[in-house]
Each structure stands twice: as structure tokens, then as C-alpha cells.
Structure 1
């Protein structure tokens, strides 16, 4: 369905954008900005602060009309999850009686291909979720508003029950960057080897197990193959969690039975609780309204986004500085890029997902954004890390007395990269913990250091940051001042530091 929507959307856009179509560019190199473009005006682009973005008002109007149509359509249904103002303080949960639960489970059993029968353990799991994890369910349902339409699109393609969208809730709480202690990663928690089997790329820059679209496609293929193997969705779910090998052993220990509840005592402990947890999650989402469970109102809709294929390497910071798209939004929409960098590799299709309102600005100003990035990259003293394939990685087992900085120094990598590669929230390590490390490139290309146009001496003025400002837009307000100047004068090295009310020093 989204393919149809995107096609119609792009057809509408073709009337609003006056730029030359760049989709057929065959770029061989990206070191020199001139090699990207034939437009002579761009050859005078020498510094980031000379960038002036185009605004196509007709296209913006089309965006607005298109979003209005989406909001009115069933595809943009917010009734089930969105929390109304009058419901914000409704937190009491009425007791769920056994008789009522039996009635509801019987209803679910009649409308789904799963064997959802009442049992006391399932009742206990449902009550535990409702009573002890209710506060987190609103956040999960907020994410569901974005991810579920994507899941349903793929599930329908493979003729898989729609209820299996709830499997990702059990697997990752709908966190695309989730990583288990065993190394399973992403919304659908793929292990490395399983991900490679389904062509999910893993490198120093990218982990497609965290790519919502690619990983969902792979999960559907895997679930389809498991169902063909067992002919039963409960068995397929057990195999998805523990692997077909463990399920086969449980079948043998159960005397050859292929009924999930018969083999359940012989499954690994985690898997034995896995299918009931799925049924509990299915119940909670299907009867969310009855339990006053709603998503937050600021949830982003899947249909309010679109993608574009990039034609040169871009960092999230560069996208933020040119389009003023919040870094956290970029991370949420593009979780597969581990270092907040979208690489460019010949014959690879790396895409950028943006809010619908920003896609038009990107397409209208694509050449200028690439030129801006080229100039900023040339001014960077430290080069961006080289793309390293997954097969070049090594595994380090933490020994007693080791800490993150020591391990990073030993292997010649940055501590911050070590944290990103292993999804570490802090620097605390445990003895025996395994860390994934991508060895430092032996032949890095070092960009030459560029001396800033102005130093931090002499007369200066102050600028107070306003809502909606970016480093680029601020630099444009002053003569002979670049983004790099503002960063150095004010010790700003992260766009997160730029907040309304902050006073910036600007030297004359």
C-alpha cells in the first residue's frame, strides 16, 4: 500500500519541483564537488555559509494537501491509540475477572489462527503486564503507531497473520536499536548469522538488522519458512525464538508430538515463556481501549515519512544543519546507521528516511546539500571513519582489570565507537563480556587541516539562539562567518548543544 502512496506522492511532486532530475546520475567519485554536477553556478560554492536553499511553494502546498488527504483516510487512523486530552489522567485499572478474560480469549481464539485457550499461567502473565508494566505500554504503543503499518504491509505480502506484528513487541519492545546479551539486534532480534542468511548487511557504518524495513522483510521470510516447516504458528513462534534445532529436540523428547503445549516442558526456559508472552501481548493490544491504554499524542505516523536514495556520504549533523531536522528524529527514522553517517558506496543503495515535510526540501536542494557536505568534509581536521566490512570485525573478551578506554586504546579505536558498536549505555563492563570491535583502517585518508577564516581574538558580538535556528542559518546572518567558526568560537561540537536561549559569541 505504501508503494502506491509513495508513487502517487512522487507523481504529484513532479509538477511542483522545477529542479533537474538527478536520479540517473552515475557518480564514480565523490572527492571533488565538481564531479557531481554540471550546473556551473555550483562551481562557485566555496564554503558552507554560502549555501542558500530553494523553497518551492507549490510543492509545499502539495505536501500540505497530500497530508490532509492522508489524515482523512483510514490509513492514518489515530482513534485506536492516540490519547485525548481528557484521558491523560485516567490511570486506574479495573480488576480483570477470570470470567471476563475467558470470554475475551475465546473471542480472540475465534478470530485468529492461533490456539489461544485460557490457562491460569496466561492469566497471570496478562495481569502482570497490566499491573506492573502499564507505564511503559504507552511508549510502546507510540512506537507501534509508526511501525505497525509497515509490519502489516509486509505481513500481507507474505500472507502471514496480521497478529504477528505483536511479535516485535515481545522481541524488542519496538526498539530498533535493541540488543540482547547474546547479540540479537533490532526490532526482530536477528542474530548475526541469521541476518546474513537473509542478506542483512552489517559493517562499521551499518547494521541492517536495525533497519525497520529490511529487517521486517527478513522476519516475514523467516516466519514463512518456519510455518511451512511446522504447519502451526505456535510451533513457528517457538522456533523463531529458540531455533528449529531446539524445537526438533523438544519434539523427540515429547514422544514425537508436534503440539506446542505438549513440547513446551522440553523447550528452553526462555522459549517456554515466549509464546504465552506473545498471547498476552496480543490480548493487551486488542483490548487496549478496555484497559485505558493509549499511545502518546506526539507519535509520528509511518505515512508522514518518505525515503530518498543518497548520492554522497552525509552525516546526520550535516542534514540537521541544512534542513534543520532534529538529530533524534533522524536517529529514530534511520536506526541502521550506527555512527550517524549515511555512507556512499558505488552500486549500493543507501537511503535516508525523513519526515514528509522535509523530503521536499531535500529533493529541491539535493545538489546544494551535497556541495555543503563536501566543503564541510574538506574543512574537517579528522576524517570520517572508513567503511569496514563485517568480516573484518574481531571479538574481545573482557578480562579482569580491563575497562572501556583501555580496550579501545589496545585496538586503536575510539571509545565512543566501541560503545556504539556494542550498544553500550555506559562504560561499565563485566568480566567475560564479549565486545565487537572493527579494527582501525590501516591506510586512512587524512583531510588537510583548514585554518578558520577568523580567530577568537578581537571585538565580538553575541547572538541569542532562537527556536528553529541551525548553525548554518545563524552563520548566514553574518559576513564572513562559517559554521565551523561558530563551532570553534563557542566550543560547540554537537548540534544537541544548540538550544533556544543560548548566547553565541560571534567575532568580527
Structure 2
């Protein structure tokens, strides 16, 4: 087990080391903070689109929270320092101008968004705290979810990191999160919190420092180890600061500012907006396919609320047939769900789960192309060596037109096939004789090579004692052997590890030892 973890983190560190390395000469700390916040603010904006948040803001919104910056209290550095010092935390929470910059973003620039986030913390933080306690993770690391996603289980970053804990696909699979067409457990607040706790455990076993764990969660253990090496083995975040990727330099200060804001928001006249969501919920295991609309319409639970309580189901279907998946509902509806369970499964089941969906196969569709107006139809019969490119040049028509007129997908045509071609009426006599011309005459008409492609044979490549021959369409081992006196089919097969001549393919390069 220990050996497998070492291998895992060696690979994991290598993958993360491919990220950009921070520019040592860049010293504008506040600039880093502003740049990192582009992701954070995107998550805050998407948070406001959640159904229960939108409804809560409509009910509880108070314009007093939209005070101008001049009316919002601001405190001296000594006050911030003292407040951070008083927070119960095993993680060091230092203060500097970078942290102050992030505090101002939370408490001034995005006050309305932070109100919603604080309201949601009453629902999500107890879930996270219980899980972190079970893994021996400091519960104050729950504030990382604020930096990662603004407590939005539906958050998706510009690079595809998903969910409250922003897992990329590969990392999610490493920590046993299911990601498929129906289910994305990165969006599941419970399962993703378990995965995040396991990830943090593994990072702590590497660094033995929770601040470095926070940094490594953002940029990967490889980049943190690289910064440690470049500073001669220093293991303090602020001493390796300028050797970390730019985004990570802002990540730890943003975490400190989040911890401050979530504990001192009242001092900044920020009042939480309580979401219109049942804080008391229940989880029921489902053992058959179920659509969230079936539950919504039978029990009378708002559909969007159900979707937000179960964000892991990508198309609102719980694919539990033959297995088990959970559904989260308000606790007030638990009894009714159990009582009406059979009715819920049967409700409009033919609409949501039709038998045809499991047996339908793709069918080819054919159409009858309409003849272009003002054009005359000519017919060309395909000869050996022809291709659609040649035919389009000979008749001066578009390749896509040829395909459309003849219901052709791709470029495959066969000898003897009749190809419909439409030309202007004034050019009928010009092109009507092409079908009876030789290949050479047709090519001369358009000023191209008169050698058919099947007859163009590249010169064999000679390397050392071997000749390398490129197989042409129609070649057999016997044909190829005849070109090299004394060489037999068996010689070619043995030299190229071939069991029979049937494995010969056009375009294949084979090795031949000419007889002297």
C-alpha cells in the first residue's frame, strides 16, 4: 500500500510539475491577488444562479447591504492582526498587505455574493466538518471550499475542474469518484468532501505542514516540491512564495481572508442571506432508474430544488438499475417518499424510460438530392484509378457537390459506379465526351500528370543491406518477390514476422534482403 502511494504521488507530482513555473522577478503581490480572483468571482456569480439562492435573495435582500465603499467599515492593520490571532486554528494565519487585499474583495467588492455564501455555509459546513473530523483533517480547512468554488457544487473552472472541491477528471478517478454520462460525483457535496479529505491526508503525509497542503491542493505537490528545492530546502510558504506558480501565491492569502470573513462578517455589516433550502434533509438509497421529475411531480417538491440538492445527476436521471444511488430530499418529505415509492417509480415511467431507448440501433438515412436549377445532368462511369478529386477537376465542379448529388459519404467510390454530375446547359457539349476519354486525355485537359496514381511507384528505400518497399494496392507477396531476383515469399514473411500474405496492407512498409 505504501509503495503504491509513492508511485501514485511520483506520477501525480510529475503531472502537476508541467504547470507554468512562477517568474522570480515578478514582485507585484497585490496583482497576483486580483488575477487569482477572476476564478473566485466567476464562482460567486454562478452561485447566484442556484435556485434556492435566487429565491433567498428575492426574499431577504436588503439594499442596506449595497452601501457605497465609503459607508462600509474599514479597520487598521492592527485590528485585522488581532482578529486573525484570536481565531481557533491549528493552521498559521499571518497577516500582510496581500491578505488585506483579499479581505477587501470579500467584505467590500463582492458583499452581495458573500452574503449568499455565508448563508449556504450553514448547510454545507456541518457536512464538511463531520467528514473532516473522521479523517483527522483540521475542520478549518473547510474554508478551502470557499476559495475553490464559493460553496457552489456546480462550479466548473475554465480548465474543467468541477464541483465544490474542483477536482479534475484524473484526480477524481484516483480518489474513486464516479464520472460518466449520468453521474458526476465531483458535484456530490458528500462524496467530493470525502475525496478532498483523502487528498489532503496524502498531501500532509508528504509535507507535514498544513499551509503547504493548502498550496499543493491548488498547484499540485510537484510544484511545491520544486519551489522547496529551488529555495534550498525551505519549507515555509512565505519563504518559497516567489517560486510558486502565480495563482498559488494568491491562494493561501485568499484562504486566510476567507477564514477571517466567515468569522468576522458581522463587524463589516454583512448579514447572511438564508437560502430557501431545507437545512434538514434526508438521503434515501434508490435501487431502480428514477427521474427527478417523477419525485418532484408526485411529492410536490420544487423541481429546481431537487436538482440543486442532487447536483451529481447530470441529466436528472438516477441510473440505479442493478445498483444503488442516493437521492437527497427535504426531511419533511421522507415519510411520503417511502409511502408513495411504488407510485413514484411508475409515474410517467414510459415517458422517462422507454424500452426503445435500450434497443434502438443507428439507422442509415438516405435522401434524394434535388437537381440544381438551370443545370443539365451528365453521367460518368467510374474507371480503375479514378477518385472523386479527379472527377471534380475534370468536370470543374465542387467535391462537396459531387458527394451531395450522389449520396456519397467520405471518398469511397467503386469501378463501374455511375456518378451524376450537373453542369450548365451551355457546357454540356464541352463535358459530354469525358466519360469516353482515356485517363491521360482527361488529365491533359486540366493540365495535370498523365500517370495514373496506381502506376506511380516510389523508389524503394535502401538502408544498409536491406531494401524497404512500400506496399501498393493489389500487391501480393508473390508480386513483390518477383521484383527482387532470388527472393522468395517465405524470405519476406520471415524477415517481417508475417504469418501469411493475408496480413499485407496497402501503405505498409516491408523489409527485403536482396540476393547478391
Please report the TM-score for the alignment, with normalisation by the length of structure 1.
Answer: 0.56
Matched residues, number: 301
CA spacing shift, 1:352–1:370, aligned 2, 3 Å: same
Query: Which residue in the other structure is 1:259 paired with?
Result: 236
Deviation (angstroms), 1:124: 2.0
Query: Which residue in the other structure is 2:295 paired with?
Result: 319
CA spacing shift, 1:145–1:83, aligned 2, 3 Å: farther
Unpaired stretches in structure 1, ≥5 consecutive residues: 1-80, 387-508
Query: Which residue in the other structure is 1:217 paired with?
Result: 194
Relative contact order, CA 8 A, sep 6+: which one is greater? 1
Runs of 4+ in 1 over 4 A off after TM superposition: 81-88
CA spacing shift, 1:88–1:163, aligned 2, 3 Å: farther
Matches of 1:239 and 1:362 in 2, distance apart? 43
Matches of 1:352 and 1:125 in 2, distance apart? 37
| Residue deviations 1:78-111 (CA, integer Å, cap 9, x gap) | xxx9999897735542122222112212223xx2
Structure 1 counterpart of 2:133, from 136, 156, 171: 156
Matches of 2:358 and 2:223 in 1, distance apart? 43
Q: How does 1:211-250 map to 2 (within 5 A)?
A: 211-250=188-227
CA spacing shift, 1:246–1:85, aligned 2, 3 Å: closer
Matches of 1:228 and 1:273 in 2, distance apart? 24
Deviation (angstroms), 1:384: 8.3
Q: Could you say what secondary structure the match of 1:95 adopts? A: coil
Q: Could you say what secondary structure the match of 1:179 adopts? A: coil
Q: Quick check: 1:370 aligned with 2:345? A: yes
CA spacing shift, 1:98–1:202, aligned 2, 3 Å: same
Matches of 1:115 and 1:385 in 2, distance apart? 59
| Residue deviations 1:269-316 (CA, integer Å, cap 9, x gap) | 0011100000000000011221222322344354x1001111221112
Query: Which residue in the other structure is 1:97 paired with?
Result: 76
Matches of 1:295 and 1:287 in 2, distance apart? 12
Structure 1 counterpart of 2:312, from 333, 336, 342: 336
Q: Could you say what secondary structure the match of 2:92 adopts? A: coil
State the structure with more CA Rg.
Answer: 2
CA spacing shift, 1:119–1:298, aligned 2, 3 Å: closer
CA spacing shift, 1:246–1:317, aligned 2, 3 Å: same
Matches of 1:319 and 1:284 in 2, distance apart? 38
Structure 2 counterpart of 1:191, from 168, 172, 179: 168
Query: Which residue in the other structure is 1:121 paired with?
Result: 98
> After the TM superposition, which of the residue ranges 200-209 and 219-228 deviates more from structure 2?
219-228
Q: Could you say what secondary structure the match of 1:144 adopts? A: helix
Matches of 2:358 and 2:105 in 1, distance apart? 47
Structure 1 counterpart of 2:157, from 168, 171, 180: 180
Q: Could you say what secondary structure the match of 1:113 adopts? A: coil
CA spacing shift, 1:83–1:113, aligned 2, 3 Å: farther
Unpaired stretches in structure 2, ≥5 consecutive residues: 1-55, 361-516
Matches of 1:234 and 1:345 in 2, distance apart? 44
Q: How does 1:64-83 map to 2 (within 5 A)?
A: none
Q: How does 1:280-429 map to 2 (within 5 A)?
A: 280-302=257-279, 304-346=280-322, 348-377=323-352, 383=357
Matches of 2:262 and 2:142 in 1, distance apart? 11
| Residue deviations 1:160-200 (CA, integer Å, cap 9, x gap) | 11211110010001111111111111000011111101100
| Residue deviations 1:324-360 (CA, integer Å, cap 9, x gap) | 11111111110000001111232x3211100011121
Matches of 1:275 and 1:251 in 2, distance apart? 16
Please report the TM-score for the alignment, with normalisation by the length of structure 2.
Answer: 0.55
| Residue deviations 1:412-467 (CA, integer Å, cap 9, x gap) | xxxxxxxxxxxxxxxxxxxxxxxxxxxxxxxxxxxxxxxxxxxxxxxxxxxxxxxx
What CA RMSD, in Å, does the superposition of the two structures yield over aligned residues? 2.5
Task: Decide whether the 8 Å contact of 1:318 with 1:373 is kept in 2.
Answer: yes
Query: Which residue in the other structure is 1:271 paired with?
Result: 248
Matches of 1:85 and 1:313 in 2, distance apart? 37
